[in-house]
Amino acid sequence: MKNFSADKEVYHSSEVLNLTVIVYSNSNIENATAIVNGINGRLNEKRVLNLNNGINEVYFTYKLPRCNVCGGISAGDYNLSCEVTYENITINNFTVINIQQ
């Protein structure tokens, strides 16, 4: 995986989080899996990918929960992880976002 990133570093309650995963493949691959996790388990997206030879961009969007007692998360930094798997090969990458009220 060449890169895993968010479209910005600081977000606010209920904003849309846009994530980009850039994967380099040295051949055409069918049925690879990308899993994005974070925000205390609230973000858990899985997608089956068909990768082309070269650079592939994959996009995920997620509406952030509210930052309050009822929403279940506090303002602060959150680690997000991305795992791309094909057969017995797994690659990981991480990014950090900050969520404010």
CATH code of the domain containing 28: 2.60.40.640
Tokens of 96: 């950090």
**pTM for the structure as a whole:** 0.89
Cα(36)–Cα(46) distance, rounded to whole angstroms? 7
- Tell me what the mean pLDDT of segment 55-78 comes to: 85
The domain total for the chain is 1
| SS3 call for 55 | strand
Read off the pLDDT of residues 1-34 as tens digits, 9 standing for 90 and up: 689 999 999 999 889 999 999 999 999 999 999 9
Look up the domain containing 94 and give its range: 3-100
